[in-house]
């Protein structure tokens, strides 16, 4: 049976060591960077006026003339005090939950690694494989969080703001433990805990800077391979043509490979298809979970109750569809 290095996981507690803690020097250094860049962005966006759909300089004439895609209404730009405060409180809650579950994650990861089918002998190859594997699994985790209601109840938090700025990147959910199993293959394939933690950290930090309207489009080779502000604006769009698109973390190649890529061609309307009217972080974090519980209670039949939890996001039983029609 392969042994987990004491430098990676404590054999007594199963908790990850300092290289795999949810908060390390990189995370702590990120705090001042987040604050400085948000203050800079807020000043830049103060000088801008809300833009109509025709203001996107990369929209084609055919797109703008398409009568089936009417011009979107003006959408808010910049920062709003209550909205930003909610995002920061959501981040604080996310960090608290991550710290609370660190020992559990460490123990489970250790047990999976002990059953690994492969062992990397070269640390550089190990980290490169872990980095790519995390981004690939992140794509599927992200996609499932949109497509399955129980997971959407966690991820909806991140999409609940009608603003799109750097603070939106910090609006992180409090039920991240729901997706732990999606990344379970990594230790089973011999990827060590500290490489997994670092890959996840870099993936999340990369996505911070793409939550902005201050950057239009980057050079074509970058746009072709990587997730960019333009691609991620699409992902946050409530426009019908933008729903459930562009799930990639660092690489946009996964979306192009699996058919979920959509370019930014029209002004993005941010938020949810039905926005929640609250800045209360608890309600933001759990409103969809509460709705799931209500649906399970009121809907008849075991099948309908199960689908209310595990079914596709937006699913409704036939009798409700008939009523809506």
DSSP symbols for 251-303: BSHHHHHHT------S---BS-SS------HHHHHHHHHHHHHHHHHHS-SHH
- pLDDT interval class at 61 (50, 70, 90): very low
pLDDT at 76: 75
Tell me: the pLDDT tens digits for 82-91? 999 999 999 9
- pLDDT interval class at 75 (50, 70, 90): low
pLDDT above 70 (res 18)? no
Higher pLDDT, 88 or 45: 88
- Range with lowest mean pLDDT among 2-16, 101-115, 210-224: 2-16
- Range with lowest mean pLDDT among 173-177, 184-188, 219-223: 173-177
Q: Cα–Cα distance between 21 and 197 in angstroms, integer?
A: 8
Q: Cα–Cα distance between 205 and 255 in angstroms, integer?
A: 20
The average pLDDT across 33-47 equals 91
Q: For the chain, give the mean pLDDT.
A: 85
User: Do the Cβ atoms of 280 and 89 come closer than 8 Å?
Assistant: no
The average pLDDT across 263-279 equals 91
User: In DSSP terms, which residues pair with 135 in a beta bridge?
Assistant: none
pLDDT at 23: 56
The average pLDDT across 182-195 equals 94
- pLDDT interval class at 182 (50, 70, 90): very high
Query: What is residue 117's three-state secondary structure?
Result: coil
């Amino acid at each position: 049976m392969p042994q987990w290095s004491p430098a990676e996981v404590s054999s007594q507690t199963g908790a990850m060591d300092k290289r795999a803690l949810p908060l390390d020097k990189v995370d702590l250094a990120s705090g001042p960077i987040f604050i400085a860049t948000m203050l800079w962005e807020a000043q830049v966006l103060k000088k801008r006026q809300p833009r109509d759909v025709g203001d996107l300089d990369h929209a084609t004439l055919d797109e703008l003339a398409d009568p089936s895609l009417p011009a979107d209404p003006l959408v808010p730009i910049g920062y709003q005090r209550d909205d930003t405060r909610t995002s920061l409180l959501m981040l604080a809650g996310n960090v608290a939950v991550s710290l609370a579950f660190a020992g559990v994650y460490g123990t489970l990861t250790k047990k999976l690694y002990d059953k690994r089918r492969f062992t990397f002998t070269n640390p550089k190859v190990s980290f490169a494989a872990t980095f790519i594997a995390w981004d690939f699994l992140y794509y599927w985790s992200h996609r499932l969080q949109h497509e399955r209601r129980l997971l959407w109840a966690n991820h909806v938090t991140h999409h609940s703001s009608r603003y799109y700025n750097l603070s939106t990147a910090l609006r992180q959910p409090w039920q991240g433990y729901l997706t732990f199993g999606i990344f379970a293959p990594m230790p089973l394939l011999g990827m060590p805990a500290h490489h997994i933690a670092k890959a996840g950290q870099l993936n999340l930090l990369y996505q911070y800077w793409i939550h902005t309207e201050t950057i239009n489009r980057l050079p074509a080779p970058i746009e072709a391979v990587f997730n960019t502000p333009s691609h991620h604006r699409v992902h946050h769009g409530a426009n019908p043509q933008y729903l459930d698109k562009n799930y990639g973390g660092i690489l946009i190649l996964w979306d192009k490979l699996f058919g979920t890529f959509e370019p930014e061609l029209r002004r993005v309307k941010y938020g949810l298809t039905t926005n929640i009217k609250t800045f209360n972080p608890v309600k933001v974090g759990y409103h969809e979970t509460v709705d799931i519980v209500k649906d399970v209670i009121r809907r008849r039949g075991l099948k309908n109750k199960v689908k209310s939890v595990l079914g596709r996001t937006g699913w409704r039983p036939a009798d409700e569809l008939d009523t809506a029609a």
